[in-house]
């Protein structure tokens, strides 16, 4: 958890990797570039899940809370996580993005960061249209519950 304190740019790097459009990766063709970007996106998502899923219990609670707030306040983080929910994707990507959002919403200082996305969350929870999204609708409802408490 101290990684985010020691390397504040890590949140930016992880949010950039979520876009699935990394430049500068040496590849031979377009298919290899697409796979490399997909692997980078999944690795970033798993890293975010690990960083955000630690329990808020002593003695590390202040560090965990600080990490969740830092991640949610990264300007591109929440929009890119929401994009992963809304675009056609693999079910495990959609589920993991929803779980990261739930973990970030659990930090008391993140309500303001989520405020502009509450309507989109409510819409996704009430109108899941794609099969991966219908699976995560309960997680999205939990995000809304966290934000309301």
What is the per-residue pLDDT across 117-137, written as a single tens digit (0 to 9) for each?
999 899 888 887 766 677 788
pLDDT computed for residue 16 by the predictor: 86
pLDDT computed for residue 28 by the predictor: 72
Q: State what percent of residues in the chain have pLDDT above 90.
A: 37
Beta strands in the chain (DSSP E): none
| Euclidean distance between CA atoms 88 and 109, whole angstroms | 31
95's tokens: 């589920």
* Mean pLDDT calculated for residue range 56-67: 78
User: At 91, which helix (H) or strand (E)?
Assistant: helix 91-105
pTM over 0.85: yes
Q: Residue 95 pLDDT more than 60?
A: yes
For the chain, how big is the Rg over CA atoms in Å? 15
């Amino acid at each position: 958890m101290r990684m985010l304190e020691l390397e504040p740019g890590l949140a930016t790097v992880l949010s950039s990797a979520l876009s699935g459009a990394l430049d500068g990766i040496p590849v031979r063709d377009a298919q290899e570039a697409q796979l490399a970007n997909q692997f980078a996106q999944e690795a970033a998502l798993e890293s975010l899940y690990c960083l955000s899923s630690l329990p808020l219990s002593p003695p590390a609670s202040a560090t965990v809370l600080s990490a969740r707030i830092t991640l949610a306040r990264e300007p591109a983080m929440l929009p890119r996580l929401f994009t992963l929910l809304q675009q056609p994707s693999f079910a495990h990507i959609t589920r993991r993005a929803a779980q990261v959002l739930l973990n970030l919403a659990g930090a008391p200082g993140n309500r303001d960061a989520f405020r502009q996305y509450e309507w989109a969350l409510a819409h996704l929870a009430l109108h899941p249209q794609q099969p991966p999204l219908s699976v995560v609708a309960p997680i999205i409802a939990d995000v809304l519950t966290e934000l309301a408490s």
